[in-house]
Amino acid sequence: MNNNGNASVSEGQGFGMIIVAMMAGYEAKAREIFDGLFLYCKDYPSSINARNMAWKVNADGSRGGDNSAFDGDADITYGTHTLRDIGPPPADSSRLLRQD
């Protein structure tokens, strides 16, 4: 057991998004689960680049790491691309992929 308790990291969110997208067709609530993961990412943006998720969110909702982590950013982005098996992406997904 680690000292993170119930902390969440962006890499875990991305892994979840990829796995749920691959479950499309096998899990009736795949889209609902994916959207929940995606909205969680949006709720905790990085202070460096708001298109990315903060790399760590503590159990109490505070950020344990306000910057982003490339592995999490890449996993989340890959999850949104894998989503095409479920249907159209969430309306705000392009916000994560744009380079303004």
Q: Can you give the residue ranges of every domain in the chain?
A: 8-97
pLDDT of residue 83: 80
pLDDT of residue 24: 84
pLDDT of residue 68: 92
Is there a catalytic annotation at residue 71? yes
C-alpha–C-alpha distance, residues 37 and 33, integer Å = 6
pLDDT of residue 89: 58
Is there a catalytic annotation at residue 27? no
pLDDT of residue 20: 93
C-alpha–C-alpha distance, residues 77 and 90, integer Å = 12
pLDDT of residue 88: 62
C-alpha–C-alpha distance, residues 100 and 94, integer Å = 11
Contact 68, 53 (CB under 8 A): yes
pLDDT 10s per residue in the chain (100 long)?
345 568 899 999 999 999 999 888 888 898 899 999 999 999 999 999 999 999 999 988 898 888 999 999 999 999 988 887 666 656 555 555 444 4
